[in-house]
């Protein structure tokens, strides 16, 4: 399974190789979608963690025990379907395969499960019809 989450690092542990341990010790796949880290200061990472449920749970415990605040998030990409002209520019940019267009109707289809929130569609759309919202799941 895959879980998207924001990891907030407290000041002082930015030097600890947390991500390395996640992969090496806890055997989860880490896909960093967005990173804002400055040495010695609070940092935050938007990551996608992939692994079975047990491993993900242990990984989360490891993060929390190291003082990392873990907030599961959902990213919601949406677009103005009414204004969409089905040109395909967003599909061209969408390497994760969430946005597709093809036979028979050649209309835009969006599969949110495949979206990795890379935001390329936001700039690729010639009409700027895409919006993205990140919200934390409580």
Partner 1 sequence: MAKTYEEINDKISKGKAVVLTAEEVSELAKTLSPKEIAQKVDVVTTATFGAMCSSGAFLNFGHPTPGIRMEKIELNGVRVCGGLAAVDTYVGATDCNPERPAYGGAHIIEELVAGKEIVLEAWGKGTDDYPRRHIKTLITKDSINEAYLYNPRNAYQNYNVAVNSTNEIKHTYMGTLLPQLRNAAYSTAGELSPLINDPECRTIGLGTRIFLCGTEGYVAWNGTQFHSTREVNEHGIPVTNARTLAVVGDLKQMSTDFLRAAYYEKYGVSLFVGLGIPIPVLDEDLAHRVSIRNEQIETTISDYGDGYKILGRTNYAALRSGEIEIQGRKVRTAPVSSLAKAREIADILKSWITNGKFTLSAPVRPMPTNTSVKPLTVRGFEDETGI
Rule CB under 8 A: say whether 105 interacts with partner 1: yes
**What gap in Å lies between CA 66 and CA 16, rounded to an integer?**
9
Cβ neighbour number for residue 138 with a 10 Å cutoff: 5
Stretch that binds partner 1, among 1-9, 14-22, 72-80, 105-113 (CB under 8 A): 105-113
The radius of gyration computed from the CA coordinates of the chain, to the nearest angstrom, equals 17
Rule CB under 8 A: say whether 93 interacts with partner 1: yes
Selected binder of partner 1 within 16, 31, 123, 136 (CB under 8 A): 123
Smallest distance from partner 1 to CB 101, Å: 7
Angstrom distances, CA of residue 10 to CA of 26, 41, 75, 93: 21, 7, 23, 35
Strand pairing class (69-79; 43-50): unpaired
Rule CB under 8 A: say whether 1 interacts with partner 1: no
Smallest distance from partner 1 to CB 34, Å: 16
Rule CB under 8 A: say whether 82 interacts with partner 1: no
Q: Is 55 helix (H, G, I), strand (E, B) or coil?
A: helix
Selected binder of partner 1 within 128, 133, 135, 137 (CB under 8 A): 128
Task: Look at the block and give the residue holding tokens 């605040």.
Answer: 69
Question: Which residues contact residue 53 at a Cβ distance below 8 angstroms, ignoring those fewer than 6 apart?
Answer: 1
Rule CB under 8 A: say whether 95 interacts with partner 1: yes
Rule CB under 8 A: say whether 101 interacts with partner 1: yes
User: What is the contact surface with partner 1 in residues (CB under 8 A)?
Assistant: 85-89, 91-93, 95, 101-103, 105-107, 120, 123-124, 126-128
């Amino acid at each position: 399974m895959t879980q998207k989450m924001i990891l907030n690092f407290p000041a002082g542990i930015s030097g600890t190789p947390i991500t390395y341990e996640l992969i090496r010790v806890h055997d989860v796949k880490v896909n960093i979608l967005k990173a804002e880290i400055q040495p010695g200061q609070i940092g935050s990472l938007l990551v996608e963690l992939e692994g079975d449920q047990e491993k993900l749970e242990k990984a989360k415990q490891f993060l929390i025990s190291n003082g990392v605040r873990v907030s599961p998030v959902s990213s919601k990409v949406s677009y103005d379907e009414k204004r969409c002209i089905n040109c395909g520019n967003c599909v061209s940019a969408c390497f994760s395969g969430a946005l597709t267009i093809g036979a028979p109707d050649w209309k835009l289809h969006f599969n949110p499960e495949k979206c990795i929130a890379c935001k390329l569609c936001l700039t690729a759309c010639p009409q700027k019809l895409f919006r993205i919202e990140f919200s934390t799941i409580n």
